A and B are shown apart, each in its own frame.
Chain A
Amino acid sequence: EADIYQTPRYLVIGTGKKITLECSQTMGHDKMYWYQQDPGMELHLIHYSYGVNSTEKGDLSSESTVSRIRTEHFPLTLESARPSHTSQYLCASSEWGGGSPYEQYFGPGTRLTVT
């Protein structure tokens, strides 16, 4: 069974605070992703990784950063949270082969509110 975890599930934080959203998967997948999604709206890719020490920015401009020191762990950090960062953040992982990703498994998401 696919296991991908995100913590915290909900976070309310004040403007200017530094926050880290955690994402871990136990499937040994090489590729991992972070998406931002407002309720009922599209999924926007903000970061992805092909494996350890590999990180890339997605299509949506983001003030966040990511790291991939271990295969299973892909945290996302906001150095200074702003109200415009209020959204849901979804982490996903997939296998990778033949130059193409396979199905993505999603975590439950972190709903972030910046006041």
Chain B
Amino acid sequence: QQPVQSPQAVILREGEDAVINCSSSKALYSVHWYRQKHGEAPVFLMILLKGGEQKGHEKISASFNEKKQQSSLYLTASQLSYSGTYFCGTVLLRGNQFYFGTGTSLTVIP
């Protein structure tokens, strides 16, 4: 029931864009996105509820396709500060357990 993220790792140059995907094998009620910098605790970015909504947070936005049980995180014009590990988290439509995804390591280089 743990969601799977892709890619596992990505390296970008400053200013480039990236997409991180999160896929679940079960129907979802909501998707959360977190970023964890090296040596720190995860920090919440945004939550998307079923209904296919899209949200934005500065130059980071996300979409949720409930039919495909997938969410994508879009990082636009990446900055050095975007480096870290990104985790999605999912709440199933049936049941209320929360599962963190497998994680995606993102490194932005000058």
- Shortest Cβ distance from residue B97 to the other chain A in the assembled complex, whole angstroms: 8
Residues of chain A lying within 8 A (CB to CB) of residue B32:
103-104
Q: Does B30 contact A (CB under 8 A)?
A: yes
Complex contact B96–A99 (CB within 8 A): yes
Once the chains are docked, how many angstroms separate the CA of A103 from the CA of B89? 10
Complex contact A100–B103 (CB within 8 A): no
> What are 5 A-B contacts with C-beta separation under 8 Å?
A35-B100, A40-B105, A42-B103, A45-B99, A90-B42
Once the chains are docked, how many angstroms separate the CA of A102 from the CA of B34? 12
Complex contact A42–B102 (CB within 8 A): yes
Complex contact B100–A101 (CB within 8 A): no
Q: Which of B85, B98, B102, B105 has the most CB of A within 10 A?
A: B98
Complex contact A45–B103 (CB within 8 A): no
Residues of chain A lying within 8 A (CB to CB) of residue B102:
42
Once the chains are docked, how many angstroms separate the CA of A45 from the CA of B85? 17
Q: Which of A14-22, A64-72, A77-85, A105-113 contacts B (4 or more CB under 8 A)?
A: A105-113
Complex contact B96–A101 (CB within 8 A): yes
Q: Does B43 contact A (CB under 8 A)?
A: yes
Residues of chain B lying within 8 A (CB to CB) of residue A106:
41-43
Q: Does B82 contact A (CB under 8 A)?
A: no
Q: Does B87 contact A (CB under 8 A)?
A: yes
Minimum CB distance partner of B32 in chain A: A103
Q: Does B74 contact A (CB under 8 A)?
A: no
Complex contact A102–B47 (CB within 8 A): yes
- Shortest Cβ distance from residue A105 to the other chain B in the assembled complex, whole angstroms: 7
Q: Does B75 contact A (CB under 8 A)?
A: no
Once the chains are docked, how many angstroms separate the CA of A33 from the CA of B103? 19
